[in-house]
Structure 1
Amino acid sequence: MNPLLVPMDTLVDYASITPSHVSEAIEQLLAKARAAIDAAANPALAPTWDAVVMPLDDASEPLWRAWSIAGHLNAVVNTPELRDVYNKMLGPISEFSTWVGLHEGLYKQYQRLRQSAEFPTLSPSRRRVIELALRDFKLSGVELQGEARERYAANSDRQSQVSQKFSENVLDATDRWSLVIEDIHRLDGIPEDTLASIKDPSAERWILNLKMPCYLPVIQYAHDRELRRTIYHAYATRASDQGDHTLDNSPLIEESLALRAEESQLLGFQHFADLRLQTRMADSAEEVLDFLRQLAKRAKPFAERDLTELKEFAKNELGLSELHPWDIPYASERLREVRYAYSEDEVKQYFTEPRVLSGLFEVVETLFGVRLTPYKINGWHEDVRAATVENHSGEVLGYLILDLYARSGKQGGAWVDSERSRRKRLSTVQTPVIYLTCNFARPQGERPALLTHDDVITLFHESGHALHALLSEVDEPGVSAFAAVEWDAIELPSQFMENFCWEWQVLQRLTAHIDTQEPLPRELYDRMKAARNFQSGMQTVRQIEFSLFDIQLHNRVQGLSIAEVLTQLDQVREEVAVVRPPSWHRFPHSFSHLFAGGYGAGYYSYKWAEVLSADAFEAFEEAAARSAASAHQAASNLGTLDPETGMRFRREVLAVGGTRPAAESFSAFRGRPPKMDALLRHSGMLEEATR
């Protein structure tokens, strides 16, 4: 039996999936979905929800679940065989998606449904599904005719191929690079657990790679400056003209930008940014640019101050008269150690992965009233583990599947995917299945894995995305969080969760020293807290740089050559950056968010949503301040872990998904529109915060 063809209410046996299962399942499910769409589009059919939308969901859900699983496996256990079959099926899937968007008969059926007598009687969620579908039909070219229609279909198909190849090149360029070190002294300064992870078990040598658990410790801690430069150069030039030309993403970047410009013009928009912003909170590219430049104006003086302090420290204390980009992480870590008397490696000893996970689960239970309980599944790799999400009566609300360690054949970074969404079917509820993927350092021997504090923040970030789906009370998949929440608001729950990683009451739950089992000492926490905004100005302008670069690339009527892309990046850096990388740096060539991750003309979403998340978290700070005056509440020592505010956040933000505009959900929680003040205060970029 094909594991990808099990009923929707059955959990998948991932370990049994083979590449042949992927092609077999996709071909069968595509045929069924096409037949269902043609049946639903029959003009003789009564335009009702039960006759049109429900059969479509019944037929499309199994297809998109199978394809989601195939894409996920291709990202986390990539093999030549799986890659081949995935690419083979990518064409038919892209063609099908385009065909659906261009299906005039189905579009007219939705128009009839919108105008029917039944429409006002439908639930608000179902009415929004229909309205969003009509919007998306128009954005999918359904009103195009003749040659424009054919060109749009070809464009959509090619965009999916370009995106996939870009991603493959980055993965292959990352996996293929290694550096053998036989002199242990060249690795002086690098933490022992990192050295153990890169030690060749068969010889007295160490093999460096470009995965984050290796790259970051080398660039931060290696005393050998030339070694830092070597690994920096390798990482900065991945998938570019500076390395293996068979993996050069230059032509793919050019083609992607040209295709996006053509797509937007075919649909009647001036440029790709205008097209993308039809489904965002921001109304125009000008609004995005104004937002980013306002933020840059506030942040750049702090960034300049950060860099001046770092240069002075590097010159006076490290003997580095000139601070190169490969020196900055190293010098920054030394300055942090001197100024705040701790290192990231020291802090890491308290964050054992089992303790962090159990602490995260406790935080979720306290805030949102649900339990996460370990659950055994047949995963795609031995690293995989799972948990059920249950309410206090034991009802299963969803399944969380975690894959936390870096390895060969697995894409870098951290992300959340949805295998299936919550859906109500008569008296039963289909529960969501969510993947949470990270790339942390593996355990060494019998000792548990150690996470940096940044790793912990990443885990909490991704848990916010997962909770957005797992705590959904949305009955219709078409308005689930990942299907309908505006892209520039989708980061609200994830960035909101990051804030708890700095709270004393939370860190007590997350920490247990690997040797002594003692929680994080208050004195060390105070030093961490004091260092929270260390170089926040530099970090902020770096994110603004990426966001401005993105929106400027897509705020044009035509594509760009790779030389023009690099020139555009230089112009953005001239405007906002304080650190200028060398001319051979090829950042765009591995910028998968833009060219393979769906963030094209949307990278600003991180900073936009950060305003929302900081303001939302301020509600928990306000609750903590109010409760501090109450002897009863003070005795509970929950701080910002306020269950009442947490349940309100769950009810007004997490549970409603995309059933209403994100601005309405935020206002329902906060009682007003968002303000930038909390973000600036949390980042230490208010003048009064620095006095």
Structure 2
Amino acid sequence: MPLSELPEFSRLNIEEFPTRLDALLAEARARVKELEAAPPEALLPGLEAIDDRLEKFWSVVSHLNAVMNSAGLREVHARCQPEITRFSNEMGQNRALFEKAQSLSARADELTAEQGRALENLLRDFRLAGVALEGEAQSRFKELKQQLSELSTRFQNQLLDATQAWSKLITDASELAGVPESILDSFAESAGANDQSGYRLSLDAPAYMPIMQFADNRALRRELYEAFTTRASDQGPHAGQWDNSTLMVDILQRRAELATLLGFENYAQLSLAPKMADTPQQVVDFLRELALKGKAQGEREYAELKAFAASKGCPDLQAWDVPYYSEQLKNERYAISQEELRPYFPVDRVLEGLFRVAGILFDIEFERNETASVWHDDARCYRLRRQGVEIASVYTDLFARSNKRGGAWMADFCGRRKLDDGHQLPVAFVNCNFSAPTSARPSLLTHNEVTTLFHEFGHALHHMLTEVDVLPVSGINGVAWDAVELPSQLMENWCWQPEVIPLISAHYESNDALPEALLERLLAAKNFQSGMQMMRQLEFSLFDMLLHKQAVPTTADDIQALLDTVRAEVAVYPVPSFNRFQHGFAHIFGGGYAAGYYSYKWAEVLSADVFSRFAEEGVMNAELGQEFLRTLLSRGGSEDPMSLFVRFRGRQPSPEAMLRDNGIIGEAA
């Protein structure tokens, strides 16, 4: 495939993928051998070319596996992934290339700033991969990495097994009073699929959350709450089965040893090495500052909820009552449902408005590419142009269907890079799972879904509007984990602006504007219980950071004791002693968020602070949009993210805008 062309999806033969990968890897390994013998200045362009060719192959395989999953594709993906991982590990442990990078570092003044940043990241990643370790230390490092991979997988599998082991069949529909009809239908379908009649409840989120929010049956809510919050632990209906207690300790101890081998004081320091935050203590201070400013409001919201529950005949509000009475209070106060908003947000109108907002702010135009090859009739391709010149492409695949991964995500096919005869242009994928159009009506979005679309397009714009020529730091490449959500969370703000909503909404039949009364209720409900929600996220974040910063736990009781201490500091309502949240905290024990869960709040502070300039100077201010593009959005990972932020904002980040946007007044408790 020529470097500048889009993928020919219609011509792809998935059966050929493993053979193509073998050829690509053989070619890459041959090129690596050449680089080992080449002068240092050949290193960066050489590695970039290798990465680019592999990315273009693997991005297509990964994308198709996510949007058109089939037995054949899954098998191909499973065959290819270990080979990609093996090559990645080889590269990370390649001593000759590491020494070449060190030689190049001694001549850093000969590099451009972008190349210098790419080299810094390369050296850092080599060190974090243990390349500088010798003998027994390197062997132990590899052993720990392998063990941690296996332990994390076991943690996730045990959590999944524990989740799937519990179910409850209800034959009397009156026990499910209050639960919406559509949810009852899904419970009945689940029963039928398991050769049962009635309503089958489970601990999967789409089944669990509606019970907690809508079921009038308090005993049922308590039963599900206990089963859910004790999964994979020493408590609850399956106590001791699939118990993650020792796994958590094993994972934490191995992480600490890994960090020590690499010269860090603790795993939190190691986790922050490639991130925007400087030190674990900086993160702890950041979280505690937010807690200090939000706790009083969270406590006030909880007191209000308790009083409301008491007025409805529940004088002793418990954890399993909180979602139920919160839902009732919200409905009583704002009388708004997402379903009521749907007819005003037909997907094409939303896209048209999104393109208009991005067009005004960043001086770009979107043009449908009718000739581009796509993988499904739902998919579309758009060219981005600036003043008539093509600068990028984006594919959208917005509707739910079978064999498509759930949720919403942005991915990339390739990034911008300098070529001998010009530039390779960036290409992004934006994927969502909205309700598909029918013969009677177009796809209609809830306002939550509108926000999701803007969020994912924020990631895509970050990738596509880059002006960086060095691939490892262009677009979303090389952007710190705790800064990468800034553009996506930033774009969400435009969905809430009274001057933008007319651009993205109109009734799909009458073309009428969203009624003023409905808009007012939508905006008023935005920050319902924002204090309680923020304190809960801070609880998770502080627990995660302290767990990886303080003395390494030797028992599961040590972990529980730390969580109890954190809750005493920041929680605004009590949880029962049987609650074992940590045993199901897959983000940090099974995913990539260890000593990194704070990133959600960190990026929210950055994006709110950036948007506060737009709020002050005009949310559709084209000059300000150009300044943001020039100083931050177009710079990708080519500079320190804090430097980019300060360049646009004129100062260090402040949480005040985020607190204000969330309706949190910010007085100390």
The question of whether the paired residues in 1 share the 8 Å contact of 2:299 and 2:532 is answered with: yes
The question of whether the paired residues in 2 share the 8 Å contact of 1:264 and 1:275 is answered with: yes
Does 2:109 align with 1:108? no
Q: Which residue of 2 aligns with 1:39?
A: 34
Q: Determine the C-alpha separation between the residues in 1 that align with 2:8 and 2:203.
A: 32
Amino acid at match of 2:125: D
The question of whether the paired residues in 1 share the 8 Å contact of 2:297 and 2:665 is answered with: no
Name the % identity.
42
Distance 1:168 1:653, change over 3 A: farther
Q: Which residue of 2 aligns with 1:644?
A: 623
Matches within 5 A, 1:192-211: 200=189
Does 2:651 align with 1:656? no
Distance 1:190 1:269, change over 3 A: same
SS in structure 1 of the partner of residue 285 of structure 2? helix
Distance 1:202 1:310, change over 3 A: closer
Q: Which residue of 2 aligns with 1:421?
A: 415
Does 2:465 align with 1:471? yes
The question of whether the paired residues in 2 share the 8 Å contact of 1:274 and 1:285 is answered with: yes
Q: Determine the C-alpha separation between the residues in 1 that align with 2:323 and 2:539.
A: 18
Q: Which residue of 2 aligns with 1:615?
A: 609
Q: Determine the C-alpha separation between the residues in 2 that align with 1:562 and 1:80.
A: 40
Is 51-60 or 20-29 further displaced after alignment?
20-29
- Structure 2 segments unaligned to the other structure (5+ residues): none
Q: Which residue of 1 aligns with 2:491?
A: 497
Distance 1:594 1:616, change over 3 A: same
Q: Which residue of 1 aligns with 2:388?
A: 393
Tell me by how many angstroms 1:193 deviates. Answer: 6.1
The question of whether the paired residues in 2 share the 8 Å contact of 1:213 and 1:441 is answered with: no
Q: Determine the C-alpha separation between the residues in 2 that align with 1:364 and 1:455.
A: 18
SS in structure 2 of the partner of residue 505 of structure 1? coil
Is 284-293 or 177-186 further displaced after alignment?
177-186
Distance 1:195 1:443, change over 3 A: farther
Partner deviation per Cα, 1:211-244 (whole Å, 9 max, x = no partner) = 7666555543444545655665666566667669
Q: Determine the C-alpha separation between the residues in 1 that align with 2:621 and 2:427.
A: 27
Q: Which residue of 2 aligns with 1:130?
A: 119
The question of whether the paired residues in 2 share the 8 Å contact of 1:90 and 1:161 is answered with: no
Is 384-393 or 524-533 further displaced after alignment?
384-393
SS in structure 1 of the partner of residue 99 of structure 2? helix
The question of whether the paired residues in 1 share the 8 Å contact of 2:190 and 2:199 is answered with: no
Tell me by how many angstroms 1:198 deviates. Answer: 7.1
Q: Determine the C-alpha separation between the residues in 2 that align with 1:563 and 1:165.
A: 20
- Residue of 282, 286, 294 corresponding to 2:289: 294
Amino acid at match of 1:670: R
Q: Which residue of 1 aligns with 2:213?
A: 220
Q: Which residue of 1 aligns with 2:52?
A: 61
Q: Which residue of 2 aligns with 1:594?
A: 588
Q: Determine the C-alpha separation between the residues in 2 that align with 1:179 and 1:7.
A: 56
Amino acid at match of 1:111: Q
The question of whether the paired residues in 1 share the 8 Å contact of 2:296 and 2:667 is answered with: no
Q: Which residue of 2 aligns with 1:510?
A: 504
Tell me by how many angstroms 1:554 deviates. Answer: 1.5
Tell me by how many angstroms 1:387 deviates. Answer: 3.5
Q: TM-score, normalised by structure 2?
A: 0.86
Partner deviation per Cα, 1:51-99 (whole Å, 9 max, x = no partner) = 2222222122222343444445555556666556545554443333233
Tell me by how many angstroms 1:181 deviates. Answer: 6.7
- Residue of 154, 171, 175 corresponding to 2:143: 154
SS in structure 2 of the partner of residue 321 of structure 1? coil
Distance 1:309 1:181, change over 3 A: same
SS in structure 2 of the partner of residue 419 of structure 1? strand
The question of whether the paired residues in 1 share the 8 Å contact of 2:191 and 2:199 is answered with: no
Does 2:90 align with 1:95? no
Matches within 5 A, 1:329-340: 329-340=323-334
Q: Determine the C-alpha separation between the residues in 1 that align with 2:424 and 2:506.
A: 37
Q: Determine the C-alpha separation between the residues in 2 that align with 1:580 and 1:445.
A: 50
Distance 1:565 1:62, change over 3 A: farther
Tell me by how many angstroms 1:359 deviates. Answer: 2.8
Q: TM-score, normalised by structure 1?
A: 0.84
SS in structure 2 of the partner of residue 342 of structure 1? coil
- Structure 1 segments unaligned to the other structure (5+ residues): 1-5, 625-639
The question of whether the paired residues in 1 share the 8 Å contact of 2:233 and 2:245 is answered with: yes
SS in structure 1 of the partner of residue 344 of structure 2? coil
- Residue of 250, 253, 258 corresponding to 2:253: 258
Q: Determine the C-alpha separation between the residues in 2 that align with 1:460 and 1:194.
A: 28
SS in structure 2 of the partner of residue 141 of structure 1? coil
Amino acid at match of 1:286: Q
Q: Determine the C-alpha separation between the residues in 2 that align with 1:125 and 1:71.
A: 28
Supply the RMSD in Å over aligned alpha carbons.
3.7
Is 294-303 or 135-144 further displaced after alignment?
135-144
Matches within 5 A, 1:552-567: 552-556=546-550, 558=552, 561-567=555-561
The question of whether the paired residues in 1 share the 8 Å contact of 2:659 and 2:666 is answered with: no
Tell me by how many angstroms 1:165 deviates. Answer: 6.0
Amino acid at match of 1:100: M
Tell me by how many angstroms 1:346 deviates. Answer: 2.9
Distance 1:443 1:587, change over 3 A: farther
Amino acid at match of 1:363: V
Distance 1:440 1:109, change over 3 A: same
Is 656-665 or 437-446 further displaced after alignment?
437-446
Matches within 5 A, 1:136-535: 136-163=125-152, 189-190=178-179, 200=189, 216-217=209-210, 219-225=212-218, 228=221, 236=229, 253-316=248-311, 318-375=312-369, 384-393=379-388, 395-405=390-400, 410=405, 413-440=407-434, 446-513=440-507, 516-535=510-529
Distance 1:219 1:518, change over 3 A: farther
Q: Determine the C-alpha separation between the residues in 1 that align with 2:239 and 2:510.
A: 47
Does 2:660 align with 1:673? no
SS in structure 2 of the partner of residue 268 of structure 1? coil
Q: Determine the C-alpha separation between the residues in 1 that align with 2:166 and 2:386.
A: 46
The question of whether the paired residues in 1 share the 8 Å contact of 2:381 and 2:396 is answered with: yes
Tell me by how many angstroms 1:355 deviates. Answer: 3.3
Partner deviation per Cα, 1:392-419 (whole Å, 9 max, x = no partner) = 4151413234355386773x54433333
Distance 1:160 1:294, change over 3 A: same
The question of whether the paired residues in 1 share the 8 Å contact of 2:380 and 2:396 is answered with: yes
SS in structure 1 of the partner of residue 131 of structure 2? coil
Q: Determine the C-alpha separation between the residues in 1 that align with 2:259 and 2:595.
A: 12
Amino acid at match of 2:327: E
The question of whether the paired residues in 1 share the 8 Å contact of 2:276 and 2:482 is answered with: yes
Q: Determine the C-alpha separation between the residues in 2 that align with 1:240 and 1:375.
A: 52
Tell me by how many angstroms 1:600 deviates. Answer: 1.7
Tell me by how many angstroms 1:511 deviates. Answer: 2.5
Is 652-661 or 515-524 further displaced after alignment?
515-524
Distance 1:404 1:358, change over 3 A: same
Distance 1:33 1:169, change over 3 A: farther
Partner deviation per Cα, 1:571-592 (whole Å, 9 max, x = no partner) = 3222211234445555445544
Partner deviation per Cα, 1:140-180 (whole Å, 9 max, x = no partner) = 22210001112222333444455556566767877898777
The question of whether the paired residues in 2 share the 8 Å contact of 1:229 and 1:326 is answered with: yes
How many residues are matched?
Answer: 661
The question of whether the paired residues in 1 share the 8 Å contact of 2:362 and 2:629 is answered with: yes
The question of whether the paired residues in 1 share the 8 Å contact of 2:229 and 2:579 is answered with: yes
Does 2:559 align with 1:547? no
Q: Determine the C-alpha separation between the residues in 2 that align with 1:85 and 1:310.
A: 52
Is 459-468 or 193-202 further displaced after alignment?
193-202
Amino acid at match of 1:574: A
SS in structure 2 of the partner of residue 398 of structure 1? strand
